[in-house]
Structure 1
C-alpha cells in the first residue's frame, strides 16, 4: 500500500512539473528572453526574469538610448551589476558596479493557468541619489528588493530596475553641456519599456504603478510631475520622499560640479564638461563622494548635493508648479513617524546616548539651520516645538523633539504639501496619505535605537517586500500581520486605484485625502478602524508652510 501511495505522490509531482504554468520564451522588442520558473505551492508558479536590458549602455552624461537588441535567446537568470557608485561599506574609498547597468528584473505569478492582464508595479530604490541597486544582495545574503512576496501575495507583476546614481547619474553644471537628471531619464526609459513590453509577460500596460522609497520616493514623485511620462503609468506610491522635499532639488549644481572637476584635474571654464566626459568613471565616481560628517549647524541632509535639478526639460519648473501633470495619476504618499532619526542621530549624536543630556542649544542650532531666517524665526520655531514641554522636560522629551524636527522638516511637511497639491490638482485621480508607526525592531535592544524609538527611515521596506514571510524565524507573528496588511493595501491600490478594494482584505478602511479633510491612515501591526486620523501634525505643518515664509529675515547676533 505504501509503495502504491509513493508512486501516486511521485506521479502527481511529475504531472505538476510537466504542467507547470510558465510563459516559456518571451518575445520583447529587443529579442527573445528566457527566465526561470519556480514552484511556490500547489498550482502556483512564478516566472522570474533577471537582467533584461531596457536601454543600451549609457553614454557618459547622456540620456539613455534604446537597446539595439540581440540574436537568439537571452538567458535572464542572473542579476546584472548595479550602476557604478561609491562603496558605502568601505566608507566611500572605492567603487562597485558598472556603467553597463540599465537592466530590470520581472516577477510574474501564475495560478492554474498562465497569467494575463495583471497589474504591474515598478520599484525605484532609494539611497540618497548616491548609492542603491535592485541587483542581487543588498545586505549580507538578503535580497531586500525581491518582488516574489508582493507578486505572489498580491497577484501582481513586480519590476525592479537599475538607474545611474552619484556623479554618473546626477552631476550637472546647470547648463546644457551637462544638464543632469540622467538617473531620472533612466527610470523614465525603464517605465516606457515596461509600458511597451509588459503585455508579453502577462501584464496590463494600461495599469502600471510606480513605487519607491526615500530618494526612490522622490524619484516616483518626479516621474508623476514630468510631462515626459504622459500616459505611461496610472498610479504612484511615494514612501518617505517627495519632489517637494528640500533635499530633492540641488539649487546650485555648478558649485559641486566645479569641486568634482578640481578633484579630477579638469578646468572649471567652458571646457569643464568635455573634460569631465573623458575622465575615468571610477575617478569621477569617487570624486562625487559626499561627507557624512554633520552638526546641528550643518545637517547631513545639506550634503546631498547630487540630486535632481530644474533642467527645463525633465523637470521644467519648480516641482510645486508641476502637479497638473499628475492630475490623472492616483497617488499614495506617506512617511515613517521617526523618519528623521537616522539623520538627526548624525547631526546631534547625544540623542542616541540614554544617559547623556542633549543641550537645548543643539536643538536651537538645528532649527536655525532649517529656518535660515535668523533669531526671530528660531525663537518662533522653538516656542512651537516646546509648547507641550512644561517647565522641566525630560531627557527623552528633548531627544524626541529633535527627531520630530528632523522628521517634520525633511519628510512630513513636504509630503503633506505634495499630498495637498496632488489633491488640489486632481481631475480623475485619487489621493491617499499614511503614517507608518510600527516601532523599530531594535528599539531599546541595541544602539543607536533608544527605547522610545518609533519607525526609523527605511523601516517600512522589510514589510512591503514581505521579509517576515521569507525569513519567518527572524520575525514575530505580528510582523507577518503587518507585512500582509501593507502588501494588501499596496497591491489593491495597484489593481483598482483604491487601497481598500481588490483581491486582498484589509484591517481598516483607508479614507481618501482631500483638500479639506486631510485624512490619513496610520499603519501598524495592531491597526484597526481607530487608526484613521486627520490633519497630521497640523500645528507643525502650519508653522513650516504658512508662518515661517511670512516671518522677516533677521540678522543673527
Structure 2
C-alpha cells in the first residue's frame, strides 16, 4: 500500500510539474497570461478573462484597434460589462471600457492546437446582459468550461455595447447606429487574427447566440463585413428577420432620448448627445415597459439594429446571399413567447383567472394592425381552426402563448432557415425545436408549460453538470445531447459527426423536406419531424403579407 501511495504521489507530482498550459500567449496587442486549472488526470484548461479586442470606444463611434500594452497582462479577472441599467432599472451599472473577451482552451496530454472555435454572443434585448461574470450570487451562465471540455472546442465569449451607447441611431450620418454590431464584428475579426496563438483554428469559427444574441449572430452572417471570417453559425430564439430585431424609424427614439437629456432635436442633436454623460444616456434609453394585448411588450424595443447602408446595406431578407457559404443551425423553444406574452395577457399564467377569447383577438389585432380587420380576422380563424366548439381555458391560454411564440421567434426563424437553404449550394442547414419543459412547470408556470424563452441556454452551457443539486438526471441527458450536437456541428458542419455520440440522427433542413429535430431528454427517432407548425408559418409568411395594407 505504501509503495502504491508513493507511486500515486509521484504521478501527481509529475503531472503537476508538466501541466499542459499555453503559458504566456502572444497577441497582436501584447502578451497575456490566463489561469490554468486541472480538470482531471492529464486534463487541464487555460482560461483567459478580460482580453482586450479593441480600445475603449469613442461615443457613437465604431470600435478601434487596441493600442497595445507592455509586459504581460494578467487575464485572470472578468472586466466590467458594458454600461446598462441595473436589474431593477433604478441606476446604471458597467463601464464604457468594456470591449473584452474571455477564452476557454482545453488540453489533453499535450497542449492543444487547431481546435474548432465557438464564439458566443449573449442576449438581453440589445439593452442588458454580459459575458463578464455573474449577474448575482454564483450565477455565471456563460462559462465556456463544460462545452469546451466535453466538446474539445475553444469557447470565446465577447462584450459589446448596449442600449443607447450601442444602438441609438439618428437615422442619418450624424449617429448612424449599430455600434454594438460593429463591436461584435471587431471581436470576431480579432479571434480570426489571434486565436491560432491560443491553439485554435482561425478557419473554423462558429458563432452562436440566443435571443438578441441569436439575432446578432444572424446579422453577422448577413453583413458583407464578415466575408471569410465565419465558417458556421447557430441562432437560438432570434434571427435578423424577427419583428423586434430592426428599427425602421430610429429617429423617434433618438429624439425622445435627446429630450430626456436636455439636448435639442434639430441639426445639433448628434453633437449634443456625443457630449452627454454616458450614465445619463444609458438610463434615458430605458423606455416604459407597461403593456397590454393592444400594446404588446415586444413592440417596445427601440434601441436595436438599423439598416444603415454600411453594416446592413439592405433589408435582412435581401442579404442571405452573404450567408450562403456558412453552415447554419437555427431553432426556437416551443413556448419561447410565453413570458413576453404574459406581460400582455397576465391571465395565461394563472389557473384562477380566466383568459377571455377577446384577449386572443386583441393580441392578434395588434400583431396584424397594418393589415386592418382582414388581417386580424384571418389570424383569428387560423389560430382557432383546431379549437373544440367550447374551448377550455387551457386551450385559450395555450393559444395565446403559441401566438406570441410564433410571431416573435418561431416563424421568423423558419423564414431564415428557408432563405438560407434556398441560397446555399454546398453548406448545410439544420432546424430544431427545443421542448424540454421548464423546471418550474406546474409550480410558477402552468402544468402545460413547455420550454420558455432562455430555457435552452442552461443546457447548452452544461449547467446541469456544474449545479448537480438543481437538476435531475434527465436534465443532464438533454444537456449532454445539446453539447454533442452543438460541438459536432462546430467541428464538421454536421451535428451528427464530430466525435460525440448523439441519441438521434438529425437530418438536414431543405426547402422541400423541411425536416427538423425536436430536442428533449428522451429523444428517439419519432422526434425527427417535418414542416414545423406549417399552417401558422404559412399564415405569417405568405397569407398575411399578401393582404392589402391599410396604411400607405
What is residue 9 of structure 1 aligned with on the other side? 8
What is residue 455 of structure 1 aligned with on the other side? 451
What is residue 105 of structure 2 aligned with on the other side? 108
Helix, strand or coil for the counterpart of 1:238? strand
Helix, strand or coil for the counterpart of 2:289? coil
What is residue 406 of structure 2 aligned with on the other side? 408
TM-score (ref. length: structure 1)? 0.98
Cα distance in 2 for partners of 1:193, 1:139 equals 29
What is residue 372 of structure 2 aligned with on the other side? 374
Equivalent position to 1:442, from 432, 440, 443: 440
Cα distance in 2 for partners of 1:428, 1:25 equals 39
Cα distance in 2 for partners of 1:215, 1:192 equals 20
The CA deviation at 1:9 is: 2.5
Confirm whether residue 232 of structure 1 aligns to residue 234 of structure 2.
Answer: no
What is residue 40 of structure 2 aligned with on the other side? 41
Is the 8 Å Cα contact of residues 137 and 143 (structure 1) preserved in structure 2?
Answer: yes
Helix, strand or coil for the counterpart of 2:23? coil
Runs of 4+ residues deviating >4 angstroms: none
Deviations 1:327-357 (A, max 9, x none): 1000001000000001000000000111211
Cα distance in 2 for partners of 1:278, 1:515 equals 50
TM-score (ref. length: structure 2)? 0.99
Confirm whether residue 540 of structure 1 aligns to residue 536 of structure 2.
Answer: yes
The CA deviation at 1:93 is: 1.5
What is residue 504 of structure 1 aligned with on the other side? 500
Deviations 1:13-35 (A, max 9, x none): 11111111000000000010000
Confirm whether residue 484 of structure 1 aligns to residue 480 of structure 2.
Answer: yes
Alignment of 1:75-90 (within 5 A): 75-87=74-86, 89-90=87-88
Cα distance in 1 for partners of 2:77, 2:210 equals 25
Is the 8 Å Cα contact of residues 376 and 554 (structure 1) preserved in structure 2?
Answer: no
Cα distance in 1 for partners of 2:381, 2:396 equals 13
Gaps of at least 5 residues in structure 2 are none
Deviations 1:153-192 (A, max 9, x none): 0000000000000000000001011000000000000000
What is residue 173 of structure 1 aligned with on the other side? 170
Helix, strand or coil for the counterpart of 2:303? coil
The CA deviation at 1:554 is: 5.7
The CA deviation at 1:138 is: 2.8
The CA deviation at 1:445 is: 1.6
What is residue 427 of structure 1 aligned with on the other side? 425
The CA deviation at 1:139 is: 4.0
What is residue 517 of structure 2 aligned with on the other side? 521
What is residue 32 of structure 1 aligned with on the other side? 31
The CA deviation at 1:309 is: 0.1
Deviations 1:473-499 (A, max 9, x none): 111101111000000000000000000
Confirm whether residue 353 of structure 1 aligns to residue 326 of structure 2.
Answer: no
Cα distance in 1 for partners of 2:137, 2:374 equals 48
The CA deviation at 1:416 is: 0.5
Helix, strand or coil for the counterpart of 1:132? coil
Cα distance in 2 for partners of 1:144, 1:108 equals 18
The CA deviation at 1:551 is: 2.0
What is residue 54 of structure 1 aligned with on the other side? 53
Deviations 1:21-80 (A, max 9, x none): 000000000010000000001110000000000000000000000000000000000000
The CA deviation at 1:7 is: 2.9
Cα distance in 2 for partners of 1:509, 1:378 equals 40
Alignment of 1:212-361 (within 5 A): 212-361=209-358
Deviations 1:194-245 (A, max 9, x none): 0000000000000000000000000000000000000011000000000000
The CA deviation at 1:10 is: 2.2
Cα distance in 2 for partners of 1:317, 1:186 equals 20
Deviations 1:121-170 (A, max 9, x none): 00000000000100010342121000000000000000000000000000
Helix, strand or coil for the counterpart of 2:425? coil
Helix, strand or coil for the counterpart of 2:184? helix
Is the 8 Å Cα contact of residues 108 and 202 (structure 1) preserved in structure 2?
Answer: yes
Helix, strand or coil for the counterpart of 2:286? coil
Alpha carbon RMSD of aligned pairs, Å? 0.9
Confirm whether residue 205 of structure 1 aligns to residue 183 of structure 2.
Answer: no
Cα distance in 2 for partners of 1:528, 1:111 equals 32
Helix, strand or coil for the counterpart of 2:394? helix
Helix, strand or coil for the counterpart of 2:68? coil
The CA deviation at 1:291 is: 2.2
What is residue 398 of structure 1 aligned with on the other side? 396
Confirm whether residue 468 of structure 1 aligns to residue 467 of structure 2.
Answer: no
What is residue 163 of structure 1 aligned with on the other side? 160
Confirm whether residue 147 of structure 1 aligns to residue 144 of structure 2.
Answer: yes
Cα distance in 1 for partners of 2:305, 2:326 equals 21
Gaps of at least 5 residues in structure 1 are none
Cα distance in 1 for partners of 2:549, 2:284 equals 36
The CA deviation at 1:278 is: 0.2
